[in-house]
Amino acid sequence: MKQDCVICGQPLGFMKFKCRDGAVCKKCYRIVSQEYTQTIVDRDTSDLLAIFEKYKSQPDFDITRRINQYLLFDDPHQLICLPNNRKYSDAKLPPEFFSYRSLKSCSLVQDTIEIKGKVRKNLELKLSFDDSIERKIVLIKKPIEVNSSIYQSMNKVANQIINNLAKI
């Protein structure tokens, strides 16, 4: 059965993305999935149209590198995207785009506590941009044991983000 994109109405080819009551083309999917960070299978057309209206004016952004769900890079356009998934951003923000040169610093923000002789830390990154804009990437919200495997792997992610941002 021939199908059209529920958002732009273009006939759908082989590349299509299912939503609850239809499917979306690749171009519209980029926008409604908020740069491939959200799934749409549980959303219906009216949800998707609202999301599309809200985010359609975003700049062209071609993901050339990414660090999981936390940070996307577009090297040709010299842009980074913070998807601002609420779970990691600790704020209710849409995906945001920043030029490489607007980034001023990226630093680790940690609280350390000790419980029964075991050191626990949280893991947050603070990104500062021009115009006093500050954003957080929360990797571990509440302090956990630094020896745990979750902490170890998140610590690696934090270093990966810091190292990658230091080079842009």
Segment interacting with Zn ion (CB under 5 A) among 7-15, 48-56, 83-91, 99-107: 7-15
Q: Which is nearer to Zn ion, 25 or 71 (CB)?
A: 25
Determine, following the binding rule CB under 5 A, whether residue 5 of this chain makes contact with Zn ion: yes
Determine, following the binding rule CB under 5 A, whether residue 8 of this chain makes contact with Zn ion: yes
Q: Which is nearer to Zn ion, 10 or 148 (CB)?
A: 10
Is 49 exposed, middle or buried, given 0-12, 13-18 or 19+ CB atoms closer than 10 A?
A: middle
How many angstroms from the chain centroid is the CA of residue 24? 21
Determine, following the binding rule CB under 5 A, whether residue 48 of this chain makes contact with Zn ion: no
Task: Locate 118 and state its tokens.
Answer: 């075991």
Q: What is the DSSP string of 107-129?
A: EEE--EEEETTEEEEEEEEEEEE
**Cα dist from 87 to 34, 76, 117, 141, 161, whole Å:** 15, 29, 30, 9, 17
92-121 residues in contact with Zn ion (CB under 5 A) are none
Phi, psi angle pair for 151, to nearest 5°: -60, -45
Among 23, 28, 31, 71, binds Zn ion (CB under 5 A): 28
Segment interacting with Zn ion (CB under 5 A) among 25-33, 42-50, 126-134, 153-161: 25-33
Q: Which is nearer to Zn ion, 48 or 82 (CB)?
A: 48
Task: Locate 93 and state its tokens.
Answer: 């923000």
Residues in the chain: 168
Determine, following the binding rule CB under 5 A, whether residue 40 of this chain makes contact with Zn ion: no
Segment interacting with Zn ion (CB under 5 A) among 4-12, 50-58, 87-95, 135-143: 4-12
- The site for Zn ion, by CB under 5 A, has a size of 5
